[in-house]
Amino acid sequence: MRIVDLRSDTVTSPTPAMRDAIYRAELGDDVFGEDPTVNRLEQMAADRVGKEAALLVASGTMGNLVCVLSHCARGEEVILGDQSHTFFYEAGGMSALGGIHPHTVRNQPDGTMWLEDIEAAIRGHNVHFPRTRLICLENTHNRCGGAVLRPEYMDAVAGLAKDHSLSVHLDGARVFNAAVALGIDVQELTRSVDSLSFCLSKGLSAPVGSVVCGSSEFIAEARRTRKVLGGGMRQAGIIAAAGVVALQQMVDRVAEDHKNARQLAEGIAQIRGLSIDPAKVQTNIIYFEIATDRLAPEKLVTELGKRGIKLLCLGPSRLRMVTHSGISSEDIDLALAALAEVMVKI
Ligand SMILES: Cc1ncc(COP(=O)(O)O)c(C=O)c1O
């Protein structure tokens, strides 16, 4: 049976070109700065997003944590969205390991936080308050359905941050999806942030790794923070080799994932008992609801699983599907046929 795995774009496997690059990678000890493949990836990544320097890390979670710990000291505060990945899904790392205080602001359905809400969350000078140090944005926004933040919005947040002497970090796990969806150079989305982390191992299909980017000074500090977290890897060129191929070959093709996601959303909108607004699907993540109480979402997941279709249940009636390089247009047809078959029986 063909398995159509729509749980996440993290399920992607390395391409043949990546496996070949991994096999041939020139290696050295990266803690001594001597792995030529890591150095090449870091330079490529920095150039691509328009920053001075970059640092390979093990994961998106580590990338965000390294950045937050590098920007903030104990007792300082980070403003971030109440639906952000960093707040929801990163095991409270900033407080657990850094003594850093998360201050959440409501995420709007389009992934933004209103500027007035951010401004209201910035602390004044008062001995009772933590000190605000950083604002975090997420683009694309995972829990807001892969929503794309536009460059003008990002610049406006950065302007506000500057007025209050704060820094801005971008969780850009899928920032290339955002750039491709908007049809712009990724640098328009990165120009105003002080640091960002993007993932090699999601839509770009590399097996492991994320890259943190920023000024040379910031990356020197981030390198030290990565070491503290046990993330100083040695012959990491094995990982970086796939990352180089990811940046060279896998960025533009995410447009196909976005097209497949729209096809999926439009199909779901036609199925009785399911609810989605296809117009809201901008990139490769779709959320839909079960609009009947005759079917529990867990049951839908089980029934689809029997038909080879995998998806995630992320709430009492909320389900998620994510398209990626392992999913073709024919797979979308299979998923829609299975959904229609299950829904017609209830
Ligand atoms: C927006 C966002 N940020 C960060 C991460 C964390 O990445 P990782 O799973 O590599 O730790 C994810 C993972 O799905 C994500 O969606």
pLDDT, tens digit, for every residue of 138-153? 999 999 999 999 999 9
pLDDT at 332: 98
pLDDT, tens digit, for every residue of 278-295? 999 999 999 999 999 889
CB 199 less than 6 A from any atom of ligand 1: yes
Cα torsion 71, 74, 79, 83: sign: positive
Q: Any idea how long the chain is?
A: 346
CA of 199 to the centre of ligand 1 (A): 7
Taking the C-alpha atoms of residue 239 and residue 101, their distance in angstroms, rounded to an integer, is: 33
Tokens of 326: 């392992």
Asked if residues 154 and 137 have their Cβ atoms less than 8 Å apart, the reply is yes
Q: Is 104 exposed, middle or buried (0-12, 13-18, 19+ CB in 10 A)?
A: middle
CB 320 less than 6 A from any atom of ligand 1: no
CB 141 less than 6 A from any atom of ligand 1: no
CA of 145 to the centre of ligand 1 (A): 14
Residues 3-28 as b or e (16 or more Cβ within 10 Å = b): ebbbebbebbebbeebeebbeebebb
CB 336 less than 6 A from any atom of ligand 1: no
pLDDT at 346: 83
pLDDT, tens digit, for every residue of 27-55? 999 999 999 999 999 999 999 999 999 99
pTM value is 0.97
CA of 85 to the centre of ligand 1 (A): 7
Give the mutation target among 202, 211, 283, 284 for probing the ligand 1 site: most ligand atoms within 8 A of CB.
202
Q: Give the three-state DSSP class for 262.
A: helix
Rounded average pLDDT over 70-92: 98
Q: At what angle do helices 329-345 and 254-269 cross, to 10 degrees?
A: 20
Residue 215's CB is within 10 A of a number of other CB atoms, namely: 14
pLDDT, tens digit, for every residue of 291-341? 998 899 999 999 999 999 999 999 888 999 999 999 999 999 999 999 999
| Confidence at 10, pLDDT banded by 50, 70, 90 | very high
CA of 125 to the centre of ligand 1 (A): 34
Return the residue whose CA atom lies nearest to atom 8 of ligand 1: 60
Tokens of 117: 């809400």
In the chain, % of residues over pLDDT 90:
98
